[in-house]
Homo-oligomer: A and B are copies of this chain.
Amino acid sequence: MVDSVQFYFDFSSPYSYFASFKINQTCESLGCQVEWKPILLGPLFNITGSAPLNTIPMKAEYCVNDWDRLARYMNVPWVLPKIFPIATQVAARTFYWLHERDHELALKFAKETFMTYFGHGQDISSSESVVGIAASLGVCDVELSFALSSETVKERVKYEVQAAQDVGVFGAPYFIVNGEGFWGSDRMWMIRRWIERDGW
């Protein structure tokens, strides 16, 4: 019996954005919760020698087209932001800070942040942008701005990235189902089957 699935993502990862529309329905329809866990791909790419997809010859062109056709197929808003990829520390810090207070609010914030960046092509890297998104969801901007300068909040993200690495996460989206890792938004079918049968 699988109780929960961990969904590791970077707010600047297009395939994570696409997966974010599907993972909750996939898991919840099987009685399983999803834990959203924003991470930072930069430190993980340093280990694998990987790089942002749009900086890799040939792959870049492929991916730009792939994101466009995936968005059309899924019928979700999509724009390749002018500045891409982007630093997502502030968004990740805000997520975990909110999550300690209100899980549902953190989830709403994550979805709104993804939509701001990949749905509308607007910045999500600056404190100003991120606080603006949170404020639109009713979060006190003064309190959040103060929190974002705290070392504890910064350390939390570092901790989560290290913890993700420790369980094998090297890219995004990455999912863990009872200790079993699944990499990529194309593996939703496999996650579903793994939950249903607890492996095979």
Listed in ascending order, the chain A residues whose CB lies under 8 Å from chain B are 44, 47-51, 56-59, 61-62, 65-66, 69, 72-73, 165, 168, 170-171, 181, 183-184, 186-187, 190, 193, 200
A–B complex contacts, Cβ < 8 Å, 25 sampled:
A44-B58, A47-B58, A48-B56, A48-B57, A48-B58, A48-B59, A49-B49, A49-B51, A49-B56, A49-B57, A50-B56, A57-B170, A58-B168, A58-B170, A59-B170, A59-B171, A62-B168, A62-B170, A62-B183, A66-B183, A69-B200, A72-B200, A73-B190, A73-B200, A184-B186
Distance (whole angstroms) from the CB of A118 to the closest CB of chain B = 19
Distance (whole angstroms) from the CB of A195 to the closest CB of chain B = 14
Distance (whole angstroms) from the CB of A186 to the closest CB of chain B = 4
Question: 7 closest pairs, A vs B, by CB?
Answer: A186-B186, A58-B170, A47-B57, A48-B56, A48-B58, A48-B59, A59-B170
A44 to B59, CA, bound (A): 11
A50 to B55, CA, bound (A): 13
Distance (whole angstroms) from the CB of A16 to the closest CB of chain B = 16
A146 to B59, CA, bound (A): 38
A183 to B186, CA, bound (A): 11
A136 to B69, CA, bound (A): 44
Residues in B with CB closer than 8 Å to A48 are 56-59
A51 to B56, CA, bound (A): 13
